[in-house]
Structure 1
């Protein structure tokens, strides 16, 4: 027996997902205010994630682009710390989902439960109903459960038993995963990877930063994460995303993004290249990077700096190989494409 409630259409999403239309580039005052807000978030996360400024900036850039973030690395290098610090810097409802082999799709999205008193089904929201969702070790769950995030991440809503339930706005997923060749992992399928705007690798800290981490967490001192206070609200995040969507991208720059994505599809080392969604994510990320750099327009440098972070994890090489080999191939292909693709005139 299924609910009889008619499906409901989700409300329009704000920011980068709003319908396209002419909009003036951000004013200098708006750019300055955006820089202060984003700078406060950056500083809050940096206070915990030491010596990884580029990683932290890329994570905040992904947030401002309106996308979702995948953090992949070996255990113990700070993937969850990065996600948690970002969550605590934002005054959003936060839910952490520990992905395990026995996690079910309904645990993520929610289920309809029969209410005998009302003689009807009542929807019980799952863990995904939050402004920021930390999907920890996402590739330890089965592909069936991983796919529960597809609709959420692409469309900002959940459909259960034919009824559509809108998610909060903003809605930001930060997923962590271990390398796919580790025991007990299920590689994310191409469609799932394509939902993530960017993939980052934290990497090992320098010896100096590692000493600082040990000192900060010893001697009865409080956990540095407990000292991270919210510095931005949901309204701030929505404003940043909407402002980034207004950053000007010249027609030649748009063509450059398309040419870069198309070149990956025709590269001899690649069986599956970047999708049109990947090109859109690259443009949104470039706009966000320009805004955080204090500009109201996108430069080719923005595209080039983010291309590997946004595109490499989506590429499927012809020769396969393990995750490390695929990542190296993807980054090599992106570097080759950037070197061979000129910026269109005009």
Structure 2
């Protein structure tokens, strides 16, 4: 444990350097930055939801710029084709053969801007890349670079020209982060930086090798067997809500998949790591669970009629499931 503690303390120098670089262009939004860092260090895809103008794209670009890795922003539109993402085979008449031209997905970090504006064929192509970290072009399969991370944004208030994401794809996002408006002091600082000064440039301060080492380190964070049972109890309670609370049974139509259990255990260790600890506490699980579960629980029609959100359902779960 002492050796692990020393490694965690050493790695926090890199984390602080990344935070400092992101802070050059992003004011506040601490929870968003923490979520992006956890996704970065655990290779977990992230869905970011917020109204326009809250610096979702700027935050993702700042994180990508702080990593010495290949980055590509893809603007999702209704006329986007799968070949625009994965690439295609091009016929060469001179040699009478086909050559494969790889698409923009062959990068380490992908910003899928306004992901819900693309049709289902595009989402299906992205689905293989997110889950298998590979793409198929013609009859050939190509592995994507390591690390490969999709950071997607979507606007919750504009429905015209958008397509609901398939549940299978939504489930592959490790986190769903909600971005809120800044405070008055933060907004004043934003105005000062953007309106009266030249923005600073974000420098790369961490490499893909550092990300891999941090990923291995997070896997070494200690989690007690009772906490593992607690995570399983939480997730299973979303599938059999009637066993813990009568209201929950009426509010939940479908519960979370086993992928939620995997991601929640990994996210809790990542959160403990960000706090500089070598072990996970029940509070770590509670802190990160809403971001892992909110897009995996499908509320019932009764809950929607009563304006009960999935975050409210998760709060009730915490009240009903016994903490170790």
Which 4+ residue blocks in structure 1 deviate beyond 3 angstroms? 115-120
Write the mapping of 1:94-243 to structure 2, written as runs, cut at 5 A: 94-179=71-156, 181-219=158-196, 221-224=197-200, 227-243=201-217
Query: What's the CA shift for 1:261?
Result: 0.6
Q: TM-score, normalised by structure 1?
A: 0.86
2:65 to 88, 94, 109: 88
Q: Distance in 1 between matches of 2:166 and 2:63?
A: 26
Q: Are 1:270 and 2:241 counterparts?
A: no
Residues 238-272 of structure 1: per-residue CA shift (max 9 Å, x gap)? 11112112222222221111111111112311111
Q: Distance in 2 between matches of 1:214 and 1:180?
A: 25
Partner of 1:12: none
2:23 to 46, 55, 63: 46
CA contact (8 A) 1:34 1:292 kept: no
Query: What's the CA shift for 1:61?
Result: 1.4
Q: 1:105 to 1:321 in 2, by over 3 A?
A: farther
RMSD: 2.0
Q: Distance in 1 between matches of 2:313 and 2:142?
A: 40
Partner of 2:264: 282
CA contact (8 A) 1:252 1:343 kept: no
Query: What's the CA shift for 1:120?
Result: 3.4
Partner of 1:17: none
Residues 85-105 of structure 1: per-residue CA shift (max 9 Å, x gap)? 111111110000000001111
Question: Counterpart of 1:314 in 2: which secondary structure?
Answer: coil
In structure 1, list runs of 5 or more residues that go unmatched: 1-23
Q: Distance in 2 between matches of 1:78 and 1:185?
A: 20
In structure 2, list runs of 5 or more residues that go unmatched: 242-248
Q: Between 168-177 and 245-254, report the one with greater CA deviation.
A: 245-254
Query: What's the CA shift for 1:117?
Result: 4.2
Q: Distance in 2 between matches of 1:25 and 1:99?
A: 47
2:35 to 58, 61, 64: 58
CA contact (8 A) 2:24 2:199 kept: no
Partner of 2:315: 335
Partner of 1:16: none
Q: 1:39 to 1:278 in 2, by over 3 A?
A: same
Write the mapping of 1:18-29 to structure 2, written as runs, cut at 5 A: 27-29=4-6
Partner of 1:11: none
Q: Between 48-57 and 73-82, report the one with greater CA deviation.
A: 48-57
Q: Distance in 1 between matches of 2:322 and 2:216?
A: 30
1:36 to 13, 27, 39: 13
Q: Distance in 2 between matches of 1:223 and 1:107?
A: 32
Question: Counterpart of 1:217 in 2: which secondary structure?
Answer: helix
Query: What's the CA shift for 1:193?
Result: 0.9
Tell me how many residue pairs correspond in the alignment: 315
Partner of 2:273: 291
Q: Between 120-129 and 308-317, report the one with greater CA deviation.
A: 120-129
Q: Distance in 2 between matches of 1:121 and 1:239?
A: 39
Q: Distance in 2 between matches of 1:162 and 1:184?
A: 32
Residues 68-121 of structure 1: per-residue CA shift (max 9 Å, x gap)? 111101111111111111111111100000000011111111212223444433
Q: Distance in 2 between matches of 1:117 and 1:39?
A: 54
Q: Distance in 1 between matches of 2:47 and 2:202?
A: 22
Residues 301-336 of structure 1: per-residue CA shift (max 9 Å, x gap)? 1111011011011111111887x95xx521111111
Q: Distance in 2 between matches of 1:255 and 1:54?
A: 27
